Structures are given as structure tokens and as C-alpha cells.
Amino acid sequence: MPQISRETVEQILTATDIVDLISSYIPVRRAGTRFQALCPFHNEKTPSFSIDPVKQFFHCFGCKKSGDAISFVREYEGLPFGDAVRKLGERAGIAVVEQALDPKEEADRRRRGALLDLHRKLTAYYHDLLLRAPEAQHARDYLKGRDFTRETAERWKIGWAPPKEMFISWAKNEGLRGRDLAEAGILKKTERGSTYFYFRNRLMFPIANDYGDVIGFSGRQLEENPREGKYVNTPETRLFKKSNVLFGLDKARKGILDEKSVLICEGQIDAIVCQERGIPNAIAPLGTAFPEPHARTLRRYTKTAILCYDSDTAGNKAAESAFKALAGEGLAVKVVAMPKGDDPDSFIRRHGIDAFRGLLEKAGSFIDFKFELAAATTNLGDPIEKARFIEGCADHLAVIKDDVSREALVQHLATRLRIGAPDVQAAVARAKKAARFPQRRSYGDPQAEKPEVVPPAPLDRRIGTLCSLALGSAAVRDWLGEQFETLHELADHLDGVPILQAILTGRPDPESPASVNTFLAGLPEEQQLALRAEPSFSDPLPEDPVAAAELTLADASALALEKEDAEIKAALGAPNLALAEQLALLKRAKEIEELMRGMSGRALTNDRFAPNARRPKRWDPRDSKDFRDKRKP
């Protein structure tokens, strides 16, 4: 039976504001940081129905009903889960994707927990270096020059990332594994086989999610290097998705609710300075882009956004991009007119916080910002220039969904340009039509973009068999989880070991198809394709899956040793080979010879190879009854 994918459910919940949803059914009113209403599920005279806009959750203290947006629609309209999701999907404009799979469940919770622990350890390490390491004196001097106190550094857990060699030494002492650091976005392996570290000699700002858990880092340059960016953020990881995170939001949530507005700065230091100097609603995006998920997140807390970007070309473009995202989600947008060459940090250091508050109070509408910018750079008295300006403003006004708000800005723009409002209204109508019916390349156009075909990841058939066994048997999964050293060695010679390791760390429940499918859906597409193409993936388990896994892993180890032996022989034939290297290769060749000799009649255990009197027949999916039945005419 078709099931709705968890990705679709999560996408719909992200796009649905629970306060807006419930207020479309019943009257609600603000009560502090939450909203209240008379519970629609039982009779009451005093409101006990509470809505949390931050957690996107409702709870009735009377009848004890609680849940998210989907739960509310199910309860209120008496709908089954699927119908409630489809109703909300239609409301949010999201197509409901159904799959012939069970509903997805949490598959990577344990791995996520391990990564969060690693981020906590890294945060403490970087922070301790900043405060105490002699090598970080220049980082402390930089912060002192920006008027950052030790208390500020401690509140924000600011740190310093050391050079590569210093970090590697610490990581080894802590027993950290390279693949964990790679998964956390700290390092990556280059095509040449070397290790590249994202953060070296940088001031480190921990990036936290809404709950205050560190999920990534933003590193600022301390030494000028034109080949690297001024800021480097953690790459996309299991924890960190840049479009879903706003710097400082975990600390600014209460301030945003109290001030009834959010102050959006361009950089992390600007947001920190503002919060430290008494402006509690300041945040910053991670880069110049301001994607729609940012706007949807902020809409949960406020209806007004104040943009405070640098007054240069990049800052002006960033402000225009942010306006479209914010206004498209129904937020009123104001823009602070920063003096040329200043940002909030530099302005506050020179003129003080009171002067900066004065700038915030004078923040005008986005249309005023556009008008002042155009008046300073173009001749709005020229009919052609004026027409271009109107069309540019119309593109921005067209994203505003609220008719009253849009019309007010249309009238305001017409007044400033001293033209009739119908001219602006016509331009907005054209912009809205163009947005609904964008020009597309005709069918068959050789220039048309073709969907990218993702090839399956390379997967050795032995590793593929182990993946299938681990997904089908908890006993196999647990046994393979103990073979860490062996699997680590196989990764250098056989394709697909990272997929198997992901299964062992993700630990999907073989007894629950939903758990397995949830896990598979979380893998990269190329890995999913590789697993589903594996012949053993859809076949029944052998009678003794652990024994089959032992033999398969022994077979894989033998093949890996053969490949390593061939590599060593090729290396020994290289000219000008140093004596020390030659001796090391010969020693390893002898070890491999002994291991391969000892593998005959043995099965692999946690202590490498151990005698095993019982050797079951090697499992081949083609021997299964289902496979034989399929071959019958």
C-alpha cells in the first residue's frame, strides 16, 4: 500500500505555521511567548489550549490532547493520517509524494548523537585553545581589538582552530577517527589522497541549532589570504544544512518575541556585538544568500524583519534577496540606512550603542531603501531610467501575498515617484504573471537542461551481500559491528565499505521494514541505487545468516589480501626503491602470505581468523527458492 514519505511529511510541517493553521479554525490570542484558545476538543470556559510557535506544537492542559499541525487537522476534522497530510500539503503548495514503502522512522538518531558529542568536544577544544594556548595570542589580540571581552568569548564559546599538525596531534590523543571528523565537516580526503582541513588558524564561531546544540562552525580568517574566503562554514553534513540555520537564533528567540521584530545582520560578529550591547533580537545568515527556509523559520517568531546590511554593492544585493524571501512569507521588511563603509560592529565601536539604536528607529520601508539607492546612482527624472526602476520594484512587490500590504507599498512608491498608482499596479501585475508563467525552453531544444542521471555507487558483490545480511538480521549487524579493524582494512581495497559502515552505525531495525526504509531513504541516492541493484537485497535470508556473513567476510578479506599482495609486488618492481621501504613491503608481503595460508578452512571472527569446524555452504541469492521459482516458465 502506498505510503507518504517522511521527507514529504517533514517538508509539509516545515512549511506550515501551526499558529496560522489553528487560527484558521478557531480564534486564538497571544499569551506571552505562546498563544491560547478555548480547546476545540472539549467544552471549557477558560482557555487551556496552548500553542507553542517555536516548537510548532499544541497542548491542552484540560483534555491532554497534543501534537503538531498534522495531529490537529486529524483530530479537528476526523481525518486519517494520509488525508490530513494531503490537506496540509495542498494548503502549503507541496505535492504529496507517496511510495510503496512503510512510513519512515528515525534511523540515524544514534549517529546524530555521536556527531553532536563530537561537536561538543571540538567546541571545548577550540575554546580552550583561544583562552589559554600561547599559539592563539594573535587570535586573542584580534578579539581585543574588536572590543570583545573574555566573558563574551565564553558566552559564545568562540575558539581558535590551530594549524593542521597541532590539530592532528590532539585528535590522535583523543582517539578521534578520520571518518568521524570527515562526517562532521572538519576534514576531507582530496582526489590525490591527501587530507584537507577546512579550518586552519581561524577564529571559530560555533553554529547552534534552535535548541542550542552545536552542529557546525564558521571560521573567520585571521591572516589575509585572497585564495580563501573571509569566512568558511562547515560544509553540508548530516547535522548541518546551511539553509536551515540562522546564526544566533538560539540566543535571540526570546528577544525577537519581546521586541516583536528580528534584526538581521550580515555577519556573525555584527550579531554578537548587537546582542552583547543590549539588542537581543539580532541574528545573521551564514552567507549572503537568504533562502526561503530562513524566512519560514523567522515567521514563527515575528511579523517584522529589519535588515542591517553593509551599504556596499554586495550588501545591497543581499538585502534585495532577503526582502523577496521575507516578504514572500508575509513579513514586513524594513531596511537600516548604514553609513557608507560601516557595519553594525564598526558603527557601534565608533559612535556607541545609542547612536545605533537611532539608526534602527529610522529604518524605512524596503521601497524607501530602493528609492534612495536609485536616486543616488541613476537619474529618475529620465523616463527610461524611471521605467526600469519601476519594473525592478514591481518584481519585489509581486512576491507580497497580502493584498493590503502590497497595495500600501504600491501607493507609497507612486507617491515618491510622483506618478499615478495604476502605472505601478500594472507593472506589478506583469511581474506576477511572469512569475506564474516563466519562459521555458521549447520541447526538443538541444540547450534545454537534462535531468542529471545519478549512477549507482561502486559496490563489490561481497560487500553488497554483507549489506543485505546486516539489513536483514540484527545478529549479523551486531557481529559485523565488532569487526571494526577488518572492515577498516577492506575499505582500501573493496568498493562499498562506507555503505556497510553506514548500516552498522545507523542500526536500522531488521524487524521493522519502516526502520530499514527510513534508513535507506537517508542514504545518498547513489548508495540507495547500489543497494537496490544488489541481487541479495530482495532475497530471503539464509538459514544461518551469521555463518553466511562469516564466510562472506572471510571471502572479502581474502580478495582484499590478494589485491594488496598484487599492489606490493608492483611496488617492489619500481625503480630506485629505498631500502627501508623495500624491507617494509617485503615484511608486509610475508604477513599477507601467512594470513592467506591460515585462512584455509577458517572463518573470520573478532580476533581475525579462528578455527571453525562448521563451514556452511556459501550463500548465493541464486540458490534461494524465490529465485528458482522466478526462473520456472
Domain at 66, CATH number: 3.90.580.10
- Boundaries of domain holding 14: 3-99
The pLDDT assigned to 18 comes to: 92
Place of cell 554578537: 272
CB 322 within 8 A of CB 307: yes
For 434-454, write each residue's pLDDT tens digit: 877 555 444 444 444 444 556
For 453-498, write each residue's pLDDT tens digit: 568 888 898 999 999 999 889 999 989 988 877 887 788 788 888 8
The pLDDT assigned to 316 comes to: 87
CB 359 within 8 A of CB 338: yes
How far is residue 1's CA from residue 35's CA, in Å, rounded to a whole number?
38
How far is residue 284's CA from residue 268's CA, in Å, rounded to a whole number?
6
Residue 146 shares a structural domain with residue 218: yes
Query: Minimal CA–CA distance to 616: which of 559, 528, 549?
Result: 549
DSSP 228: S
Q: How far, CA to CA in Å, does 33 sit from each of 4, 145, 249, 283? A: 33, 37, 15, 19
441 falls within a domain: no
Residue 254 shares a structural domain with residue 369: yes
Binned at pLDDT 50, 70 and 90, residue 538 comes out as low
- Mean pLDDT, to the nearest integer, of 66-74? 88
- Mean pLDDT, to the nearest integer, of 426-432? 88
What is the model's pTM? 0.57
Query: Minimal CA–CA distance to 15: which of 67, 95, 74, 92?
Result: 92
Binned at pLDDT 50, 70 and 90, residue 543 comes out as confident
How far is residue 28's CA from residue 47's CA, in Å, rounded to a whole number?
10
For 118-128, write each residue's pLDDT tens digit: 999 999 999 99
Provide φ and ψ at 35, rounded to 5°: -125, 150
| pLDDT above 50 (res 604) | no
Query: Minimal CA–CA distance to 340: which of 305, 316, 375, 307?
Result: 316
Provide φ and ψ at 197, rounded to 5°: -100, 130
452 falls within a domain: no
Query: Which residues, 6 or more positions from 151, have their beta carbon under 8 angstroms from its beta carbon?
Result: none
Binned at pLDDT 50, 70 and 90, residue 106 comes out as very low
* Single residue among 187, 218, 240 that ends a domain in this structure: 240
How far is residue 551's CA from residue 557's CA, in Å, rounded to a whole number?
10
CB 389 within 8 A of CB 416: no
Q: What nine digits make up the cell of 294? A: 530562513
454 falls within a domain: no
Arithmetic mean of pLDDT over the chain: 82
Query: Which helix or strand (DSSP H or E) is residue 305 part of?
Result: strand 304-308
How far is residue 299's CA from residue 221's CA, in Å, rounded to a whole number?
33
CB 298 within 8 A of CB 305: yes
Min mean pLDDT across 229-243, 251-265, 362-376, 424-438 is at 424-438
Residue 122 shares a structural domain with residue 234: yes
Please write down the HEC assignment for all residues of 487-531: HHHHCCCCCCHHHHHHHHHHCCCCCCHHHHHHHHHHCCHHHHHHH
The fraction of the chain above a pLDDT of 70, given in percent, is 87
Q: Are strands 304-308 and 332-335 parallel, antiparallel or unpaired?
A: parallel
CB 534 within 8 A of CB 586: no
456 falls within a domain: no
- Mean pLDDT, to the nearest integer, of 198-208? 93
User: In this predicted model, which residue has the larger pLDDT, 530 or 6?
Assistant: 530
CB 509 within 8 A of CB 515: yes
Residue 596 shares a structural domain with residue 627: yes
User: In this predicted model, which residue has the larger pLDDT, 211 or 562?
Assistant: 562
How far is residue 118's CA from residue 184's CA, in Å, rounded to a whole number?
8
449 falls within a domain: no
For 307-336, write each residue's pLDDT tens digit: 999 888 888 888 888 999 999 888 999 999
Residue 126 shares a structural domain with residue 59: no
Residue 262 shares a structural domain with residue 406: yes
The pLDDT assigned to 609 comes to: 33
The pLDDT assigned to 564 comes to: 80
Query: Which residues, 6 or more positions from 121, have their beta carbon under 8 angstroms from its beta carbon?
Result: 174, 176
* 28, 31, 34, 39 alpha-carbon torsion, rounded to 10°: -40
Residue 39 shares a structural domain with residue 148: no
The pLDDT assigned to 63 comes to: 84
Query: Minimal CA–CA distance to 466: which of 453, 452, 483, 450?
Result: 483
- Mean pLDDT, to the nearest integer, of 564-571? 79
The pLDDT assigned to 598 comes to: 64
The pLDDT assigned to 631 comes to: 40
Residue 211 shares a structural domain with residue 261: no
Query: Which helix or strand (DSSP H or E) is residue 81 part of?
Result: helix 81-92
CB 227 within 8 A of CB 254: no
* Single residue among 380, 402, 436 that ends a domain in this structure: 436
| pLDDT above 70 (res 41) | yes
Min mean pLDDT across 150-159, 370-379, 386-395, 575-584 is at 575-584
Domain at 270, CATH number: 3.40.1360.10
* Single residue among 208, 240, 272 that ends a domain in this structure: 240
Give me Rg for the CA atoms of the chain.
30
Tell me, rounded to whole angstroms, the distance of Cα 305 from its chain centroid: 23
Residue 232 buriedness (CB in 10 A; 0-12 / 13-18 / 19+): middle
Binned at pLDDT 50, 70 and 90, residue 109 comes out as low
The pLDDT assigned to 223 comes to: 84
For 605-616, write each residue's pLDDT tens digit: 333 333 333 344
DSSP 204: E
Min mean pLDDT across 90-99, 309-318, 513-522, 539-548 is at 513-522
The pLDDT assigned to 454 comes to: 67
443 falls within a domain: no
The pLDDT assigned to 617 comes to: 44
533 falls within a domain: yes
Tally of structural domains, the chain = 4
End-to-end CA distance of the chain: 28
Binned at pLDDT 50, 70 and 90, residue 531 comes out as confident
Residue 417 shares a structural domain with residue 564: no
- Mean pLDDT, to the nearest integer, of 258-275? 92
Residue 290 shares a structural domain with residue 423: yes
Residue 278 shares a structural domain with residue 395: yes
Residue 258 shares a structural domain with residue 401: yes
Residue type for position 384: I
DSSP per residue over 250-296, as a string? HHHHHHHHHHTSEEEESSHHHHHHHHHTT-TTEEB-SSS---HHHHH
356 falls within a domain: yes
